[in-house]
Structure 1
Amino acid sequence: MNKPKLWSKDFISVSLSNFFLFLTFYILLVTLPSYAMEELHSSSSMAGLMTTVFLLSAIVSRPLAGQWLERSGNKKVLLTALIIFASASLLYFFPTTISGFLVIRLLHGIGFGMATTAVGTIVADIIPASRRGEGMGYFVMSTNMAMVIGPFVGLLAIQQWGPQILFSLSVIVAIASLLTGLSVKHTKTEQPSKIEVLSTSSFHRLFEASAVPIAIVGSFMAIVYSALLSFVSIYAHEIHLASVASLFFVVYAIVLLISRPFTGKWLDQYGPNVISYPCIALFAIGMFILSQSSGVFTFLLSAGMIGLGWGTLFPTFQTIAIQDAEPRKRGVATATFLSIYDTGIALGSFLVGVIAAKMDYSSLYFFCSFYILFGAVLYYFLHTRKQASSTKVKKQQTKMQEI
């Protein structure tokens, strides 16, 4: 039997749009705080708000975008979001104060939150149900590749050519996201009836309850991931491996590229538990090796194991969130998952920063490895046991119907 087609024109277009969207995000993520301190002479706490304001506005906008997706259709929301995102990118040339930049970051975050919700929903509709794990894995790779390329391009631009070239690059990449988004055909999920809308509470229109448990697990794990994003380059300097610090996420991405054809298919064939538990273990082992690293080999080995572990867990969790929701609720489910996940990133960036001030990074990553193992317990209670109970109830209902 032939497999349904995965690499359609729409799948490629929406993946490219997502890549350029996150490329803009990462280009600015690593450069704006230093720009604020050096060019605008702001304090480190005010510079940190560049990221915080952006993420908070994205988190707040996602539930609203999810509801809009359910009512108005995916294409309309995607294009509106990408226009807001590209327009906000154009505004970075003008402000001369930190307050002005924070207003733009607020607007930019709204566009980003809406756009990431829309592309996540569209790709879930495009991917054949029998290949959803495989397809979501490839789709999330577009984000992973942006995470590797974005910081490199952003730092090179601001260090070699200055902020005007940096902002020009961000505009070009944001417009590329809009253009590739325009090439996606109109896709629209099943619309709710007026009776369903009236009988549904405001909370349930904004949040999809079925996505909350796995989103909590993802958010819990994301706290450790934020520790990597924020401090792994500083840790590399601390252990005298600054020369290979930039290779950490390169190795992370290479391992993802190699493993993705297998892990996505296994998810579709055997279910999420067969993937999740080994990957949680790999993530924990990778963090432990990182905490003990003293040479290039162990440092990059940890990157590979973390890439295979966490890099596989994230699309697996997002796939679970989408599969557990009704087709017409995929937009709300995507928004719910990403909002709760990003809350973990935002909270983790703050908490890990506070903890890092009290201990060295080696100890921080050592304790993170055990924290991840506790995540396996959380996954069991919030997903595995719940799934087993649901399956048991369905079997009982089937037997009753047969009788």
Structure 2
Amino acid sequence: MSTTATSKPRLVTPQFVLLGAAALAYFLADGMLVPAVPRYVAGELTGGNIAVGLAVAVFSLSALVLRPWAGRLADRRGRSVAMVGGGIIFAASVACYGMADSVGALAALRLLTGVGDAFFFVGVVTAMSDLAPAERRGEAISLFSLSLYGGLAVGPPIGEALVGVGFTAVWLAAAGLALVAVLLALRVGDTREPVVDAAEARGGRLIPRAAVVPALLLLALIWGMAGFLAFVPLYALDLGLPGAGFLLFGFAGIVVVIRSAGARLPDRLGAARSVRISLLCTTIALATIGCWRSVPGLVLGTVVLGIGVALGTPAIMTLALDRAPAAERGAVMGVVSMSIDLAQGLGPTTFGLAAAATTRNGGFLAAALIAAAGLALASRSVARR
């Protein structure tokens, strides 16, 4: 058999690299705002805890609501239109943060930033799925996610350093990076596959059937992770540790290593099998932390949770893309990515309610039940392969 016949389809093309660079520039800009916005509200706008929470949360609200429409736009008008439009809205709104003289004005601008995020994120993740060969989608999503993790790891320290210069420097630097992402997205161009069927080209439902189960599975996975990230700093203190920095670093490190060195795992194991393994790991991890109230229990649970999260997101998105026709990829990615925003709100909230009614261990156990429900759904709804 010839080498050409046995070689894998190429994944890392110049277009794929350009797309990854656009994503990295955008997520660096996004990461810079993470420490800067709360400090701006509390300092320059003299807002309290509620004001800080409002300014941070409204971003996710508009992003959550608009993701399905962003997906439809990406399907009908092209991924580049969604990325470029979203990036420009993001950059323009952030550049105006310094003009906000009240928490309400900043919150309105943050809503616009969320609009930009909805369109850019859905556009870039859908373009990535277009460029990836079907049998390497899990690997593509794993590698693509490193742009997000890299931006959100490096962006905040840069933002904090620039706050020392002045908040205007943060806003202009973040807006500038977003415009760099726009220019790179323009170089990528439209990545849609040609659609022959006219009815298919017009698009289908706002919430495609192919997206429903994967969206619920991703919700179950991220729900527990969001609660863990919000409360593990406090739980570590409960156990007598000086802090949770080494746990959070280790968790992120496990995710990055598996998503890079083990990027091909979701494709080799199969998307369905990877999803089940991921939700099983997540359930065991959260239950271990909740039942074994000790430092070893927390460390072991953190390691297993990192494995579950690292495998889960690429596998679930691959599962959704495998079920979606080419003309609905944007809509599917829009609906599935909504689960991330929803889980980041519901996870800490339900964890807090469960912890208030019982203990923080009870919060971890409640999160484990959500993951177990996702595992049951995956076992029943996802074909074994």
TM > 0.5 between the two? yes
Residues in 2 aligned to 1:161 and 1:41: alpha-carbon distance in whole angstroms: 19
Task: Identify the residue that residue 348 of structure 1 maps to in structure 2.
Answer: 347
372-381 vs 107-116, which moves further = 372-381
How many residues align structurally? 379
Cα deviation, residue 275, structure 1: 1.6
Task: Identify the residue that residue 308 of structure 1 maps to in structure 2.
Answer: 307
62-71 vs 93-102, which moves further = 62-71
| 1:189 aligns to 2:188 (yes or no) | no
Distance 1:65 1:273, change over 3 A: closer
246-255 vs 147-156, which moves further = 147-156
Identity %: 24
Deviation per residue, 1:278-331 (Å, 9 max, x gap): 222322333345444654x76555433222111210111111111100011111
Backbone CA RMSD of aligned residues: 2.8
How does 1:227-376 map onto structure 2 within 5 Å?
A: 227-243=227-243, 245-260=244-259, 263-291=262-290, 292=292, 294-295=294-295, 299-376=298-375
Distance 1:69 1:233, change over 3 A: same
| 1:14 aligns to 2:13 (yes or no) | no
Task: Identify the residue that residue 50 of structure 2 maps to in structure 1.
Answer: 45
Query: Quick one: which amino acid aligns to residue 378 of structure 2?
Result: Y
Residues in 2 aligned to 1:239 and 1:154: alpha-carbon distance in whole angstroms: 32
119-128 vs 260-269, which moves further = 260-269
Contact 2:272 2:315 in 1 (8 A): no
Cα deviation, residue 114, structure 1: 0.5
| 1:220 aligns to 2:220 (yes or no) | yes
Query: Quick one: which amino acid aligns to residue 135 of structure 1?
Result: A
Q: Secondary structure at the match of 1:183?
A: helix
Query: Quick one: which amino acid aligns to residue 310 of structure 2?
Result: G
Q: Secondary structure at the match of 2:10?
A: coil
How does 1:32-181 map onto structure 2 within 5 Å?
A: 32-155=37-160, 157-158=162-163, 160-161=164-165, 163-181=167-185
Cα deviation, residue 122, structure 1: 0.2
Cα deviation, residue 335, structure 1: 0.8
Contact 2:25 2:178 in 1 (8 A): yes
Q: Provide TM-score, normalisation by structure 1.
A: 0.83
Distance 1:247 1:177, change over 3 A: farther
Distance 1:239 1:169, change over 3 A: farther
Q: Secondary structure at the match of 1:71?
A: helix
Q: Secondary structure at the match of 1:206?
A: coil
Contact 2:68 2:207 in 1 (8 A): yes
Contact 1:70 1:191 in 2 (8 A): no
Contact 2:23 2:147 in 1 (8 A): yes
Q: Secondary structure at the match of 2:101?
A: coil
Query: Quick one: which amino acid aligns to residue 28 of structure 1?
Result: L
Query: Quick one: which amino acid aligns to residue 377 of structure 1?
Result: A
Contact 1:251 1:300 in 2 (8 A): no
Distance 1:234 1:166, change over 3 A: farther
Distance 1:161 1:238, change over 3 A: farther
Distance 1:153 1:217, change over 3 A: same
2-11 vs 219-228, which moves further = 219-228
Unaligned runs of 5+ in 2: 1-5
Residues in 1 aligned to 2:97 and 2:129: alpha-carbon distance in whole angstroms: 33
Contact 2:276 2:379 in 1 (8 A): no
Cα deviation, residue 266, structure 1: 3.5
Contact 1:145 1:253 in 2 (8 A): no
Query: Quick one: which amino acid aligns to residue 178 of structure 2?
Result: A
Contact 2:354 2:362 in 1 (8 A): no
Distance 1:284 1:19, change over 3 A: farther
Cα deviation, residue 126, structure 1: 0.3
